[in-house]
């Protein structure tokens, strides 16, 4: 049985491969050295600075009711929310992305089930969605070859100008 770290790493690698292939290389992905701020990967158009911070969650099985489940824990009780912060939840079977949900953080925070975090501290957000049936997550569901185009659409929807500033994330720019 995979450890949670192995499951997460496998999902992140499948996500990266699917995004790269489905965007025909138009998106570049970068992996932070740490993910203390809930960012597993950043993405930007080729030749540009990263525009999105992405938290990737991986479900390897479904519940008896047929739901993929992912949990996010925020010990400080404040779920991360920003136009440039996105959740990517993958349902993986047989080493392939069977279904994915690309969800902007504001929608994710609004639609998830909320509960107390471990030992009653902080908050836990729980995502539960069907990879086949209609539910309140259906508008965010996509197939693996749609992930790149969905991320490009999200990048294109961001305000022009400076790269978005995401609290807790730091981007070093070279001065000319």
pLDDT digits over 161-173, tens only?
665 566 666 655 5
The torsion defined by the Cα of 2, 62, 16 and 124, in degrees rounded to 10, comes to: -80
N residues, the chain: 176
Q: Which pLDDT belongs to residue 15?
A: 97
pLDDT band per the 50, 70, 90 thresholds, residue 124? very high
Which of 104 and 165 is assigned the larger pLDDT? 104
Burial state string for 60-89 with b = 16 or more CB within 10 A and e = fewer than 16:
eebeeeebbbbebebeeeebbebbbbbbbb
Query: Average pLDDT of the chain?
Result: 90
Residue extents of the structural domains in the chain: 4-157
Query: What is the mean predicted confidence (pLDDT) over 86-114?
Result: 96
Residue 12, SS3 per DSSP: helix
Q: Global pTM? A: 0.87
Per the CB < 8 A criterion, the answer to whether 59 and 70 are in contact is yes
4-157: which CATH architecture? 3-Layer(aba) Sandwich (3.40)
């Amino acid at each position: 049985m995979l450890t949670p770290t192995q499951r997460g790493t496998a999902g992140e690698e499948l996500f990266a491969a699917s995004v790269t292939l489905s965007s025909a290389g138009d998106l570049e992905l970068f992996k932070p050295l740490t993910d203390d701020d809930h960012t597993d990967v950043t993405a930007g158009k080729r030749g540009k600075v990263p525009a999105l911070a992405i938290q990737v969650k991986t479900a390897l099985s479904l519940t008896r009711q047929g739901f993929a489940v992912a949990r996010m824990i925020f010990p400080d009780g404040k779920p991360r929310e920003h136009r440039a912060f996105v959740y990517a939840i993958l349902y993986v079977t047989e080493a392939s992305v069977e279904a994915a949900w690309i969800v902007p953080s504001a929608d994710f925070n609004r639609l998830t089930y909320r509960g107390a975090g471990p030992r009653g501290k902080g908050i836990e957000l729980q995502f539960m969605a069907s990879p086949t049936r209609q539910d309140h997550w259906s508008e965010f569901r996509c197939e693996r070859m749609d992930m790149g185009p969905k991320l490009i659409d999200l990048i294109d929807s961001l305000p022009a100008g400076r790269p978005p500033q995401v609290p807790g994330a730091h981007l070093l720019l070279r001065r000319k």
